[in-house]
Chain A
Amino acid sequence: MDLVLMFIDGIYLDGKTSKRHIARLEVNSDHKITRIHLATQREILSFEQQHYKVETRLGNTPREISFDDAQLFVCDNHDEIDKIISWQKKYSSKQNTWLYRLENNLKLICLSTIATIIFLYGLIIYGIPSTAKVMAHHAPQFTSQQLISSLDILDRTVFDASELSAQRQQEITALVAPYLLSYKSLQPKLVFRAGMKANALALPNGVIVFTDDFVNLTQSDDELLAVLFHELGHLSHKHMTQRMIQDAMLTIMVVFITGDVETFDLLTGLPTLLLDLAYSREFEIEADSYALTQLSNHNIPLQSFIDAMRNLEQYYLKQSAGSRESAINDFFSTHPKTEKRIKLIEQFNKKND
């Protein structure tokens, strides 16, 4: 009645001391683990009443059966242990062999490699930007209002009060006022600041900043308007909000997929940065085409946009001649190449002709 079905040779560890015992596990004809024989002590431990758990198979690592009170049996006999698992009727054990089979199915491995690459590519190139776009446009208005402090932060860190004459500031404000009025829904407001070289930026709460260097650089009112429309494009597409959402989603994705963050430290930093730049160029192109549409709507020559771009390019080239290459890199990494932007204008012209 108590027939032995099989013996499995391995190691027994009692969980109280680190002494290893050469051991032999006994399974009876009812598929139950009954005893463990310890070779050196000539001792027989009974396990008839005990619960045991067979650890899942993982590559070629040793097989483990854990019993009550942290006792452990370790061996390398994969076939026998798999038999014990198959005799267990529990759902969880079935699931466990399933995982091992998955990991050793060559076709599936190839397939999942390709699927994973395609999925991640799709997620990064299409998924995240379009989700961020939808989220940005559906975010309630008040969230943008809260961001009002971002100008305060910039004022404290990079900006100083504008050094343009009050008269010049008034001139420009008067120039843009009628245009801003027609984009009321964006709640645009133009301010002047010194610092940050020649630059114009749009903050999510509708504040558009022209820096002194930028204003001095422009040679006509139309150029100012062209850049104003570009910034209004950022506002109307809610690019700042999109970007924040994208950054958050990218971070979460990386943390979730890699699981243990430290493995990826070396490799996550770089692609995340590159992606951010790629996303940013997309935004610039979107803002450019918005500006072009608005310019032609208001019958302002598109050449003014080209002039503004050329002026900025000249300015940054001159800057970089003085202080090595960093300036030019800074400018061109987040923005598309000027040539590319001018090409866009030519295409736009052709379409409208």
Chain B
Amino acid sequence: MTHSADTPPVSNTNTPTQSHRKIGFEFRGDGIEYFKIWIVNILLTIVTLGIYSAWATVRNNRYFYSNLYLDNDNFRYLADPLTILKGRLIALAAFIAYYVASIFLPIISGILAIALLIAIPYFINQSVAFNNRMSSYKNIQFRFKGSYGQAFMVIYIWPILGILTLGILYPLAILKANEYFVRNSAYGTSNFDFNATYKDYGMIFLTALGIAVVVGVPIALITYFVPVFAIISPVLFGIMYFALIVYALVSFTNLFYASLNLVEHKFEAKLTITGQTKVILINLFLTIITLGLYLPAAKVRMTKYICSCLTMHANGDLDNFIAAEKENISALGEEFGQVFDFA
């Protein structure tokens, strides 16, 4: 921590002068282009009674990965639709079995629910591993190697402790989860690292709480003493709630990237509350008046905005990453995660 900041990185064998570079992430997708892909996906999914949905997912993901550029090289999504279809069918069968059981045999469904609860950390590990492995940049895949015990801690124990301590430990729960998922991820053979403190996360919570008190209490008091005010106070509370959500979203994203590093390379996110609010409001408005048809373009706009705020501080060039060995992971974990909506 203390020494390395002053001295140049050890691995620096090349010319040290131009080694530090700021590289921006860039999303080159286009709303109309993606709409076409999206609508054909839906049509084919309907025509094939849902079977095409696996291909649709791959095509959607490929579009977003392939249009994401860093240093003029794009990311890739590698999953095979057949793998996803297989996982999806198994997950669907399990879901139907669970649903039927929960209607007709509540006791068995209770046992199944507990079994599922125990299995969730495993499935989440599998899901993250699959997603990382199916993502590549410069033809090197990402990796994830989690452990069941640690996953169990960050999924259940830390959040429960956070709630039991009335939120005092909740920032720690988020920190632990990020640490777990980032530190067990790798780009090729190079591990990611995550360096944030409890204070970093605590400050975001405290600020949000502060805003809620400073703005919320006067509104509540005015409403109490001036009953006419009750007409607009729900609207004001709604706005405050929305603002707090955006504030948290922006702060957590910025903190996440500020704490992230890959060997000697660092990252930075500069999302702003106004920028993010603008994107959300435009997307929400256009999606509602088009009855959902704007959704693909909304996703593109959001991705574009976030990418435009992301930078990588590269120390040295990005040519020396080495691929990890091959391994096989099924798509089942990921699909379970999606079908039961816990990932």
| B84 → A minimal CB distance (Å) | 9
CB neighbours (8 Å) of A52 from chain B are none
B318–A18 contact, CB under 8 A? Answer: yes
A257–B339 contact, CB under 8 A? Answer: no
CA A15 to CA B78, docked complex, whole Å:
13
Stretch at the interface among A141-149, A159-167, A218-226, A327-335: A141-149
Let me know if B188 is at the binding interface, CB within 8 A: yes
A121-149: CB near B (< 8 Å → 1, else 0) gives 00000000000000000000001001101
A109–B318 contact, CB under 8 A? Answer: no
Residue of A62, A72, A120, A147 with most chain B CB atoms under a 10 A cut-off: A62
Please provide the chain B residues from 126 to 157 with a CB less than 8 Å away from any CB of chain A in the complex. Answer: 137-140
| A292 → B minimal CB distance (Å) | 31
CB neighbours (8 Å) of B74 from chain A are 61-62, 74
B341–A62 contact, CB under 8 A? Answer: no
A257–B46 contact, CB under 8 A? Answer: yes
Let me know if A244 is at the binding interface, CB within 8 A: yes
* Contact partner, A252, options B45, B92, B138, Cβ 8 Å: B92
CB neighbours (8 Å) of A244 from chain B are 103
A1-41: CB near B (< 8 Å → 1, else 0) gives 00000000001011111111000000000000000000000
| B298 → A minimal CB distance (Å) | 9
A87-105: CB near B (< 8 Å → 1, else 0) gives 0000000000001001110
Please provide the chain B residues from 19 to 66 with a CB less than 8 Å away from any CB of chain A in the complex. Answer: 28-30, 33-37, 39-43, 45-46, 50, 53-54, 56-57, 59-63, 66
Let me know if B73 is at the binding interface, CB within 8 A: yes
Let me know if B338 is at the binding interface, CB within 8 A: yes
User: Given that A58-B62, A109-B36, A147-B103 are contacting pairs, would A259 and B41 also be in contact in the complex, using a CB cutoff of 8 Å?
Assistant: yes
Chain A residue nearest in CB terms to B57: A259
CA A5 to CA B103, docked complex, whole Å:
66
A146–B105 contact, CB under 8 A? Answer: yes
User: Given that A19-B319, A147-B103, A260-B338 are contacting pairs, would A116 and B43 also be in contact in the complex, using a CB cutoff of 8 Å?
Assistant: yes
Let me know if B323 is at the binding interface, CB within 8 A: yes
User: Given that A149-B106, A256-B50, A257-B53 are contacting pairs, would A263 and B295 also be in contact in the complex, using a CB cutoff of 8 Å?
Assistant: yes
Let me know if A182 is at the binding interface, CB within 8 A: no
CB neighbours (8 Å) of B176 from chain A are none
CB neighbours (8 Å) of B35 from chain A are 109
A68-79: CB near B (< 8 Å → 1, else 0) gives 001110100000
CA A261 to CA B73, docked complex, whole Å:
29
B339–A59 contact, CB under 8 A? Answer: no
CA A112 to CA B42, docked complex, whole Å:
9
CB neighbours (8 Å) of A72 from chain B are 139
- Residues of A within 8 A of B (CB-CB), count: 50
CB neighbours (8 Å) of B295 from chain A are 263-264, 267
User: Given that A11-B73, A58-B62, A259-B56 are contacting pairs, would A267 and B287 also be in contact in the complex, using a CB cutoff of 8 Å?
Assistant: yes
| B98 → A minimal CB distance (Å) | 11
CA A117 to CA B103, docked complex, whole Å:
32
Give chain B's interface secondary structure class: helix
B73-115: CB near A (< 8 Å → 1, else 0) gives 1101000000000000000100110010001111000000000
- Residues of B within 8 A of A (CB-CB), count: 58
CB neighbours (8 Å) of B56 from chain A are 259
CB neighbours (8 Å) of B46 from chain A are 116, 119-120, 257
CA A58 to CA B30, docked complex, whole Å:
12
CB neighbours (8 Å) of B28 from chain A are 60
CA A74 to CA B73, docked complex, whole Å:
9
Let me know if A321 is at the binding interface, CB within 8 A: no
Chain B residue nearest in CB terms to A264: B295
Let me know if B270 is at the binding interface, CB within 8 A: no
CB neighbours (8 Å) of A119 from chain B are 46
CA A126 to CA B74, docked complex, whole Å:
45
CB neighbours (8 Å) of A260 from chain B are 57, 60-61, 338
B29–A59 contact, CB under 8 A? Answer: yes
B267-300: CB near A (< 8 Å → 1, else 0) gives 0000000000000000000010001110100010
CB neighbours (8 Å) of A64 from chain B are 76
User: Given that A18-B320, A64-B76, A115-B43 are contacting pairs, would A261 and B59 also be in contact in the complex, using a CB cutoff of 8 Å?
Assistant: no
CA A101 to CA B262, docked complex, whole Å:
40
Let me know if B195 is at the binding interface, CB within 8 A: no
CB neighbours (8 Å) of A104 from chain B are 36
B29–A17 contact, CB under 8 A? Answer: no
Let me know if A46 is at the binding interface, CB within 8 A: no
CA A11 to CA B71, docked complex, whole Å:
13
Query: Can you pick out 25 interface pairs between chain A and chain B where the beta carbons lie within 8 Å of each other?
Result: A14-B139, A17-B322, A18-B318, A18-B319, A18-B320, A20-B138, A58-B63, A59-B36, A59-B37, A62-B66, A70-B323, A72-B139, A108-B40, A112-B39, A116-B43, A117-B291, A146-B105, A149-B106, A252-B96, A256-B50, A257-B45, A260-B61, A260-B338, A264-B295, A267-B287
Given contacts A19-B319, A59-B29, A255-B92, 18 further A-B contacts (CB under 8 A): A17-B319, A18-B188, A18-B321, A20-B138, A58-B66, A59-B37, A72-B139, A102-B40, A108-B40, A112-B42, A112-B43, A143-B104, A248-B96, A255-B338, A256-B45, A256-B53, A257-B45, A259-B41
Q: Top 8 A-B pairs ranked by shortest CB distance?
A: A61-B66, A13-B139, A256-B50, A18-B321, A19-B319, A112-B43, A18-B138, A146-B104
User: Residues of A at under 8 Å CB distance from B?
Assistant: 11, 13-20, 58-62, 64, 70-72, 74, 99, 102-104, 108-109, 112-113, 115-117, 119-120, 143, 146-147, 149, 153, 244, 248, 252, 255-257, 259-264, 267
